[in-house]
Structure 1
Amino acid sequence: MLRPLLFILFLSHSICIDDVNQLKAKYLEELIETEVKKAQNYKVRSDNKDLLGDVENSDQIQGGGSAGSVVASRLSEIINWKILLLEAGDINDDFTDIPYVFDAAALSDRNWGYLTVPQKNGCFGRKNRQCPYIRGKILGGTGSINGLVYSRGIKRDFDKWAEAGNPGWSWDDVLPYFKRIENFESKSINFTYRGFKGPLNTAYVKPNSRHQKAFIQANEEIGIPYIQDYNAEKVSGVSNIQHNIQNGRRVSGANNYVIPSWNRFNFNVTLKAFVTKILINKETKTAYGVEFVKENKKFRAHAKLEVIVSAGSVNSPQLLMLSGVGPKSELQKHNIEVIHDLPVGEYMKDHIGFLGFYFKSNNSDPILSNAQLVKEFLEGEGLYTSPSHYRCISYYNVRNKSSPNPNIEIAFAPPHPIKSTLPQFVNYNDEIKEFIGNINQSTYWNLQLFLLHPKSSGFLRLKSSSPKDFPLIDTRVFEDQDDLEDMYRGIEVALKLLETSVGKYFNLTLDLNIPSCSHEKYKSKAFWYCVLRQIALPAYHLSSTTKMGPRNDPLAVVNSKLKVYGIKNLRVVDVGIVPSTVTGHINAQAFLIGEKGADLIKLDHLKIY
């Protein structure tokens, strides 16, 4: 009797799984269609009033972004420590776990909705000359709505940090942390540089399409060599891109650090909790807790050991200044009592991105339906398993071809069958929106060019003394003319791809009709300068607003142990501490900072670790 019973049970189970898979597919199809439609009608938030409303009186980490998720999870490993993680947003969801739709996810209340102040030298193709600043208001932070590119930076980046007076942050110091973070799927890669047992799954984009192979060949034809792994010893060259993806789903601080730790008895994750002030004893200059608002009620939470600010490179400096820690003149301007005078927000760095490089091609690959793409996604395959179709990445130095230290990155996206939400995503004005909206995404190659070490730097200031108001973000894009020149030289390299055998095979032709630049000779240097000022923007890799440095650094806010100068029991653990730009996207550094920050805290408070 046992065997027939088992047969009946297994048969019934199989039928149920088929039904469940059909329900999952239907649910995801409708979810994607609904969210993309909402994204196309997205209105940018203008302040934080929806988080506060009319409030009534009634060892912490503020901010559950990539770094905050890591440090909270790691500290909760110490069973006699009670960890409170406060996150202003909600938990990540089924939509954000689909890598491809990240740009639509950013056009929702999962994004803070920041804009820069009107720019003088760039962002001309944006409404009111204001570029958007995508920042994640969600568990996992921007790492829950970003493009998932995994690029660690190069040896020189971190050695430069150490040489600037930050002991413990050289390449040899940080490499073990990168290896601890990673679970790299390609086991054949050199074990000297990569990790294979960490929580952060890292993989090459799949499948390897004919367009990827073509892009790599075209780069080789113009002298840019193929390298297997740009996160190893050599970076300059072209490679298949690496993403933080596992089984076709997003890998993030939320999914891979916080949620696995969720049920620890000493770990409290409080969502939709907007921190408005750090509590600091004015006489002793000691941080002892925070004020936060949840469901229109004000709460206080006290910390026995430390207050750890991991709210990101926009919210962390704003919170410090609202709490009386920042530039004296700035605080006094807003009638905020000065507890400690520090250059919070006085320094800001970012890469500069040019996203408008479109080449027509003769591609005729079939367009797949949403239903087909969802079916493939549920099998861990297909377009939806990669972030917005990025497939390859190349690095080179436009000022010194033989240099091992690149200053330009190009990310390659082949033709794809989905209508893009890009025009609103980057806050284009009507002229640019019309141009890009008319592009047939199923036949175009798109190159996205990034200047990795711009000379221009910006700052972040308060708009008022109220946490209801957004801070003022001024990136001062293209303030330094050398940045325009370097991006122009990068464009010259990219245009050489048109003349390769690959370019001719795909019949690649530049399509860049910008009416505001029509007065310049097409493809001339003046034309490209005009186009860059119209379309280029800060690349959402914002850092350095709470800069790490030695005490004699006039722009330093924290020391090499991430402790805020002049205030006891207060640290900043997020990418705001980055002292200088890195060669690549910044999410990998957020995980690094979270891991190392957690170790620094443990070393300070545990007798044996």
Structure 2
Amino acid sequence: MVYVRGNPDDYNRWAAQGNPGWSYEEVLPYFLKSEDANIPLSDPNYHGTGGYQSTESFYTTELGNAFIQAGQELGYPLTDYNSPQQIGFSPFQATTRFGRRASTATSFLQPVLNRENLDVLTGARVTRILIDPHTNRAYGVEYNRNDKKMTVRANKEVILCAGALQSPHLLMLSGVGPKEQLVKHGIKTLQDLPVGQTLYDHVAVFNFVFSTNVSMPSLPDLFNYDELLRWYKTGQGPLSAPISSEAVAFLKSNHPNPLDGTSPDFEIVFVRQSLISDNGAVGRRILRIKQEYYQKMYGPLEGMPSISMIPILLHPKSVGCMKLKSADPYDDPLFYANYFSDPENYDIRIMIEAIRFMLRLTETEAFRKYDIRLISDPVLGCEHLEYNSDEYWYCALQFLAGSAYHQTSTCKMGPKHDEKAVVNHELKVYGVGNLRVIDNSVIPVTLAAHTNAPAILIGEVGSDMVKKDWGVL
């Protein structure tokens, strides 16, 4: 539900790589078109009203406000990060309405379900795109529903929007992808393309625990009559803030940035809870921390008032990939994120700088008031290293870092001469007629954004491209 578009420089790099129509100036009207903003602390020139997609500010507690004040103490502005001035501190913006989730399904699809030219099938799993091997043109899809194999035909074109993890999977199952992998699994190659050969993801650390002298109610404690009634009647209060996140900082590092622009290098997310707030019931499982490791590392801290800050790397140099596991559509493919694999160690150096920035925040007056301190027990496996040295954090990140769930670029957009490109700037798959990919898998560059807002943008731009091609626009 976090709504972050990204930096103007990100979109200008996107266009500069040979993708006309995707510069910041060209995509901004689409962001404004989508939006129905209710964000008090925002630049009205960069937000729209009356669109299908509601956006609101997150609820912030006194600790969330202290995070923003700490940033201002260090000289950073209070900013609207969805304006061109992204660097600074801000309450989060979310795709919610009246404190409730406003997904793209409820925002865009539900209002038009009664259209005669729209059918929505739920409980259906697409297994293959149907492509004529003689003409290399897509003519439908195959899917399973109620244990029955079925097909649906397309009069004009097939649009694939299964996301950055499943769109490349479906292309490869349909004979579009790296020939070597398709042959290995007995799939006839209809078009040899670098599907899944580029995978970007933001690296994050979710399990830093900071002690505080303020006891925040745990999530179960919030589900009481008063808070539920407050949320139901006003759309306000802590229950309106997804996963207890409240505020964010987008920041540039002191390291030489090869992008050399205004796009930030990392972000810090403020969360009013921490990994220990639920005594390992949910967070530990989501992060796939083994029970034994959790008990040794975090068990003794349970019951302590705590908050968390999450550093996230925005422009990784490390590039991952996807490979088929088998030709079975129900057999999940293999994803290799390759975190911290860049030969210059750029990614890990930026993450270490982000950690040191969090420690600077704890030294501000705004944070001292609440006695916010990082729990400094050594990370298990790194006890032999000097605490807080670069070598220590290099070791710790091998244990702590994981996915921010912002995967992109597996069906990368680019001009025909781009050896990594799968689709062109109109989202059409190279070498396959009547087939487009319209989702985050087409994003060709790293973005200083969570992937919710870019996905909405790509849908808006892609729909206009389809309408233009068929004489509707």
Query: TM-score per shorter chain, which class?
Result: over 0.9
- 1:192 maps to a residue whose letter is N
| Aligned equivalent of 1:456 | 318
- The correspondence of residues 411-490 of structure 1 with structure 2, limited to 5 A, is 411-415=269-273, 421-434=282-295, 435-436=297-298, 439-440=301-302, 443-480=305-342, 481-490=345-354
Q: 2:91 aligns with which of 237, 240, 243?
A: 240
CA shift for structure 1 position 418:
5.7
Deviations 1:517-559 (A, max 9, x none): 2111222211111111101112100000000000000000000
Distance 1:499 1:323, change over 3 A: same
Q: 8 Å contact 1:363–1:415 — kept in the other structure?
A: no
Return 5+ residue gaps in structure 1 as ranges: 1-147
Q: 8 Å contact 1:397–1:403 — kept in the other structure?
A: no
- 1:234 maps to a residue whose letter is Q
Q: 8 Å contact 2:18–2:414 — kept in the other structure?
A: yes
| Aligned equivalent of 2:164 | 313
Instruction: Write the distance in 1 (CA, Å) between the matches of 2:209 and 2:335.
Output: 29
- 1:568 maps to a residue whose letter is G
| Aligned equivalent of 1:393 | 248
State which structure, 1 or 2, has the greater radius of gyration over its C-alpha atoms.
Answer: 1
Q: 2:224 aligns with which of 371, 376, 379?
A: 371
| Aligned equivalent of 1:79 | none
CA shift for structure 1 position 177:
0.4
Deviations 1:222-265 (A, max 9, x none): 232222x1101201011111111111110111111111111212
Instruction: Write the distance in 2 (CA, Å) between the matches of 1:414 and 1:334.
Output: 47
Deviations 1:252-305 (A, max 9, x none): 111111111112122110011111111111111110001100011000110000
Distance 1:212 1:277, change over 3 A: same
CA shift for structure 1 position 376:
2.8
| Aligned equivalent of 1:152 | 5
| Aligned equivalent of 2:28 | 175
Distance 1:541 1:248, change over 3 A: same
Q: 2:363 aligns with which of 499, 502, 508?
A: 499
Q: 8 Å contact 2:322–2:334 — kept in the other structure?
A: yes
Task: Give 3-state SS (helix, strand or coil) of 1:195's partner.
Answer: coil
- The correspondence of residues 132-211 of structure 1 with structure 2, limited to 5 A, is 148-186=1-39, 189-206=42-59, 208-211=60-63
Task: Give 3-state SS (helix, strand or coil) of 1:161's partner.
Answer: helix
Task: Give 3-state SS (helix, strand or coil) of 1:192's partner.
Answer: helix
- 2:62 maps to a residue whose letter is R
Deviations 1:9-32 (A, max 9, x none): xxxxxxxxxxxxxxxxxxxxxxxx
Distance 1:603 1:464, change over 3 A: same
Q: 8 Å contact 1:456–1:476 — kept in the other structure?
A: yes
Task: Give 3-state SS (helix, strand or coil) of 2:209's partner.
Answer: strand
- The correspondence of residues 33-44 of structure 1 with structure 2, limited to 5 A, is none
- The correspondence of residues 290-369 of structure 1 with structure 2, limited to 5 A, is 290-365=141-216, 368-369=221-222
Instruction: Write the distance in 2 (CA, Å) between the matches of 1:518 and 1:188.
Output: 44
Instruction: Write the distance in 1 (CA, Å) between the matches of 2:283 and 2:217.
Output: 22
Q: 8 Å contact 2:40–2:57 — kept in the other structure?
A: no
Q: 8 Å contact 2:197–2:410 — kept in the other structure?
A: yes
- 1:498 maps to a residue whose letter is T
Distance 1:436 1:590, change over 3 A: farther
Query: How many percent identity over aligned positions?
Result: 38
Task: Give 3-state SS (helix, strand or coil) of 1:270's partner.
Answer: coil
1:566 aligns with 2:431: yes
Instruction: Write the distance in 1 (CA, Å) between the matches of 2:382 and 2:458.
Output: 42
CA shift for structure 1 position 189:
4.2
| Aligned equivalent of 2:126 | 275
Distance 1:363 1:308, change over 3 A: same
Return 5+ residue gaps in structure 2 as ranges: none
Instruction: Write the distance in 2 (CA, Å) between the matches of 1:396 and 1:328.
Output: 41
Deviations 1:382-408 (A, max 9, x none): 222110111110011113699632111
Deviations 1:29-67 (A, max 9, x none): xxxxxxxxxxxxxxxxxxxxxxxxxxxxxxxxxxxxxxx
CA shift for structure 1 position 431:
4.4
TM-align CA RMSD:
1.9
Q: 1:214 aligns with which of 66, 71, 74?
A: 66
Q: 1:546 aligns with which of 402, 407, 411?
A: 411
Instruction: Write the distance in 1 (CA, Å) between the matches of 2:250 and 2:141.
Output: 43
Instruction: Write the distance in 2 (CA, Å) between the matches of 1:441 and 1:323.
Output: 52
Task: Give 3-state SS (helix, strand or coil) of 1:319's partner.
Answer: helix
CA shift for structure 1 position 214:
1.0
CA shift for structure 1 position 516:
1.4
- 1:423 maps to a residue whose letter is R
CA shift for structure 1 position 364:
3.2
- The correspondence of residues 104-143 of structure 1 with structure 2, limited to 5 A, is none
CA shift for structure 1 position 212:
2.0
Instruction: Write the distance in 1 (CA, Å) between the matches of 2:124 and 2:182.
Output: 25
Task: Give 3-state SS (helix, strand or coil) of 1:298's partner.
Answer: strand
Q: 8 Å contact 2:414–2:421 — kept in the other structure?
A: yes
Task: Give 3-state SS (helix, strand or coil) of 1:404's partner.
Answer: coil
- 2:89 maps to a residue whose letter is V
CA shift for structure 1 position 186:
3.1
* Residues 176-185 or 399-408, more deviating: 399-408
CA shift for structure 1 position 190:
3.6
Instruction: Write the distance in 2 (CA, Å) between the matches of 1:236 and 1:411.
Output: 13
Task: Give 3-state SS (helix, strand or coil) of 1:568's partner.
Answer: coil
Deviations 1:488-519 (A, max 9, x none): 01111111112111232211221143221211
Q: 1:407 aligns with which of 247, 256, 265?
A: 265
Distance 1:311 1:437, change over 3 A: farther
Distance 1:592 1:439, change over 3 A: farther
Report the number of matched residues: 459
- 2:23 maps to a residue whose letter is S
Instruction: Write the distance in 1 (CA, Å) between the matches of 2:99 and 2:304.
Output: 22
- The correspondence of residues 39-50 of structure 1 with structure 2, limited to 5 A, is none
Deviations 1:146-192 (A, max 9, x none): xx111100110000011000000000110000001111113784443
Instruction: Write the distance in 2 (CA, Å) between the matches of 1:375 and 1:204.
Output: 20
CA shift for structure 1 position 366:
5.5
Q: 8 Å contact 1:409–1:584 — kept in the other structure?
A: no
Instruction: Write the distance in 2 (CA, Å) between the matches of 1:397 and 1:487.
Output: 12
CA shift for structure 1 position 377:
2.7
Distance 1:238 1:441, change over 3 A: farther
Instruction: Write the distance in 2 (CA, Å) between the matches of 1:352 and 1:273.
Output: 32
Task: Give 3-state SS (helix, strand or coil) of 1:202's partner.
Answer: strand
| Aligned equivalent of 1:530 | 395
